[in-house]
Amino acid sequence: MSSETVISPPRPHFSNPPDYQFPIHRLARVLRNPDKQPIVLVACGSFSPITYLHLRMFEMARDYIRQHTDFEVVGGYLSPVSDQYKKPGLLNAQHRVNMCNLAAQQTSQWLMVDPWEAFQSYQRTAVVLDHFEHEVNTCLGGIAVPLSPSSSPSSPPSSRSGQQNPATQRRHARIMLLAGSDLIATMSEPGVWSARDLDHILGRYGALIVERAGVGAGADTDGAVDALARWRHNIHLIHQLVQNDVSSTKVRLFLRRGLSVRYLLPEPVVDYIEERGLYTDEGSGSGAAVGAGQAEWEKGKEKRSSSSSSGLGGC
């Protein structure tokens, strides 16, 4: 093990869904620039359905990282939330994961979908990030660093642990949360996040926050970040240079009204929705549950911020 390897203490147990395998088919296993620190971006959310803005967040974050940090992006993951989140408008996890997979496969070279949280009980974001830490840094052993600038990053190690060449140094990958500014605004709302989780997420991992047009944008975002001043060094604000306020809520509303959503979502996702007639009625994640459903969901917030889950899992 090289002196560069920093393996943080793994969480001993995770509850994995049945037949779960952590997706690594697009994870760069070797760093291109040996002077950089690898970083993996993780976006947690409903993705009901996934829109171009969700995908665009990753591109904005990668540009920001290239221009302003010493990190090198080695992978990006969409992590759709469990059905147990029960947010109004949440279509079942299988459909949401399928749509995310279609979007990632057909529009990107580097995004992956991790179904870990989707296919089990609700997992808090702090636990989701720990899961990525465990998979990338404990199970895979981090990211390999080329020994010299002439080493080819195009020939990745063959084994799952990536230890083909014992002389290869391995570097700990930073896991970082990628989210819109509406999410950071909830971090100073009472009852949504526990203080311990906030410290864990923002202190240990950090967050890339994409300004969201119309929601918590501009001064609001600055205010939200001020409230989290303790972790300011670990919160990266990304401004949207082209404003776009597409949201899943609006997409669901359009579908319910029989309006076109083409060019708001990747084409294969539009086809998937149309072929199955998704989001057309109130009971199937149509976003219409803003009455009793919304109230019920709001009531559950406090419970979700503290309830934990752990079970047997592993690499």
Ligand X SMILES: Nc1ncnc2c1ncn2[C@@H]1O[C@H](COP(=O)(O)OP(=O)(O)OP(=O)(O)O)[C@@H](O)[C@H]1O
Ligand Y SMILES: NC(=O)c1ccc[n+]([C@@H]2O[C@H](COP(=O)(O)O)[C@@H](O)[C@H]2O)c1
> Which one among 27, 41, 43, 97 touches ligand X, defined by CB under 6 A?
43
Strands across the sheet containing 37-45: 111-113, 71-80, 37-45, 174-180, 207-210, 235-238
Per DSSP bridges, beta strands 207-210 and 174-180 are: parallel
Look at residue 58 and give the partner it binds from ligand Y, ligand X, none, a contact being a CB closer than 5 to 8 Å depending on partner kind. Answer: none
- The residues with which 104 forms a beta bridge, in sequence order, are none
Q: State the Cα–Cα distance between residues 240 and 180, nearest whole angstrom.
A: 11
H or E segment to which residue 174 belongs: strand 174-180
Q: Kindly state whether residue 87 participates in binding ligand Y, applying the rule CB under 6 A.
A: yes
Using the minimum distance from each CB to ligand X, give the nearer residue, 38 or 45: 45
Per CB under 6 A, 96 contacts ligand X:
no
Binding mask 181-220 for ligand Y (x = CB under 6 A): --x--x-----xx---x-----------------------
Restricting to residues 108-167, which ones interact with ligand Y according to CB under 6 A? Answer: 124-126
DSSP string, 207-256: EEEE-BTTBS-THHHHHHHHTTGGGGGGEEEE--SS-----HHHHHHHHH
Give every CB contact of residue 88 below 8 A, 6+ residues apart in sequence: 287, 288, 289, 290, 293, 294, 297
Of the candidate residues 82, 169, 247, 286, the single one contacting ligand X (CB under 6 A): 247
The option from ligand X, ligand Y, none interacting with 125 (CB < 5 to 8 A, set by class) reads ligand Y
Give the total of residues touching ligand Y (CB under 6 A): 16
Smallest separation (angstroms) from ligand X to the CB of 103:
12
Q: Give yes or no for residue 221 binding ligand Y (CB under 6 A).
A: no
CA within 13 Å, CB half, 228: 32
Q: Which is nearer to ligand Y, 93 or 126 (CB)?
A: 126
Q: Which of 42, 100, 103, 179 binds ligand X (CB under 6 A)?
A: 179
Interface ranges with ligand Y (CB under 6 A): 44-46, 81, 85, 87, 124-126, 183, 186, 192-193, 197, 304-305
